[in-house]
Chains A and B, each alone.
Chain A
Amino acid sequence: DIQMTQSPSTLSASVGDRVTITCRASQSISSWLAWYQQKPGKAPKLLIYKASSLESGVPSRFSGSGSGTEFTLTISSLQPDDFATYYCQQYNDYWTFGQGTKVEIK
């Protein structure tokens, strides 16, 4: 089974900050990685697929990079609506999520 490890688990940041979340896979997954945003009581929302492709309608301040086993999600300038929990997901071999990164207000 492929394990996904996100870091950090919690991130405190201010509006306007540049934020980076890392996701590592236990084995190579090529670029078969997605990022989701989840707010309390809501379903996850797709942000990024194939490691770096921005889902339609998602603001351009969100970007993804990486391949193989190391990936990053970057928010270039954090907005009030971005305080949420973010999950990476590999879909190379079945499906596995990272444990999540909660982005909190500093």
Chain B
Amino acid sequence: EVQLVESGGGLVQPGGSLRLSCAASGFTFSTDRMNWVRQAPGKGLEWVSYISSSSTTIYYADSVKGRFTISRDNAKNSLYLQMNRLRDEDTAVYYCARGMTGMNYFDYWGQGTLVTVSS
């Protein structure tokens, strides 16, 4: 069974940093593309970042470019999102999501972790 479990969320002040993790199991993590998607309270879904299976290709949404860094450790079956210079508008539930092989839609999602940016 495919499982994605996010962790690392919490309360942080504006300008602060946080590192999210996503632990993967039930599939061959090292061959799959991964993404981060977020959802502000009461709002819709926003794609945040993409990383290819070998980390050679990385993309970011304009809203986080230069502040967030996506990475992965295939030996640990883990995906990460380093978030720096956090802003109020980064408050959201952050989901990790697997990109379907051969296509790019998201077939499995974690349960999400809440990041609250507030003073």
Contacts and interface: CB of A to CB of B under 8 A. Distances in A.
B80 interface: no
Contacts of A55: 107
A56 B104 CA distance: 17
B44 A87 contact: yes
B105 A43 contact: no
Contacts of A44: 45, 95, 106, 109
A99 B47 contact: no
A94 B45 contact: no
Interface in A38-97: 38, 42-46, 49-50, 55, 87, 89, 91, 94-97
A99 B46 CA distance: 9
Nearest to A100: B44
Nearest to B110: A43
Interface of B: 35, 44-47, 50, 59, 61, 95, 100, 103-112
Interface of A: 32, 34, 36, 38, 42-46, 49-50, 55, 87, 89, 91, 94-100
Contact of A89 (B61, B105, B110, B112): B105
Contacts of A98: 44
A94 B47 contact: yes
B47 A49 contact: no
B113 to A, nearest CB: 11
Given A43-B95, A49-B100, A97 B109 contact: no
B104 A97 contact: no
